[in-house]
């Protein structure tokens, strides 16, 4: 899945997401869309931690950068 920063969306701001369990961390930063794999990123440094949210939905994640929590939502195709 591809995730997009949703922290500026009004409904996300009103949603009181809470950081859940650690899912993993970024293992590679790349600008190439070829061979893009899980835990690769285009905007985050290697080692950036990724967490689930309190809604237990795989379509919402929290990424922690410099102590700040940023909400990401999956982009659904189709």
**Above 70 in pLDDT, residue 49?**
yes
Element (H, E) at 70: strand 68-75
Q: Reply yes or no on whether the pLDDT at 57 is more than 80.
A: no
Q: How many CA atoms lie within 13 A of 74 on its CB side?
A: 10
Give the span between the Cα atoms of 71 and 66, in whole angstroms: 14
pTM (predicted TM-score):
0.84
Q: What is the pLDDT of residue 60?
A: 92
pLDDT digits (tens, 9 = 90+) for 62-78: 999 998 999 999 988 75
User: What helix, strand, coil percent values describe the chain, rounded to 5?
Assistant: 5, 45, 50
The gap from C-alpha 52 to its chain's centroid, in whole angstroms, comes to: 9
Q: Is the pLDDT of residue 8 over 80?
A: yes
């Amino acid at each position: 899945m591809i995730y997009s920063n949703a922290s500026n969306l009004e409904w996300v701001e009103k949603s009181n997401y809470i950081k859940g369990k650690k899912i993993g961390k970024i293992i590679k930063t790349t600008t190439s869309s070829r061979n893009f794999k899980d835990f690769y990123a285009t905007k985050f440094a290697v080692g950036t931690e990724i967490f689930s949210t309190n809604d237990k939905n795989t379509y919402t994640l929290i990424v922690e950068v410099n102590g700040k929590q940023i909400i990401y939502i999956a982009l659904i195709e189709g």
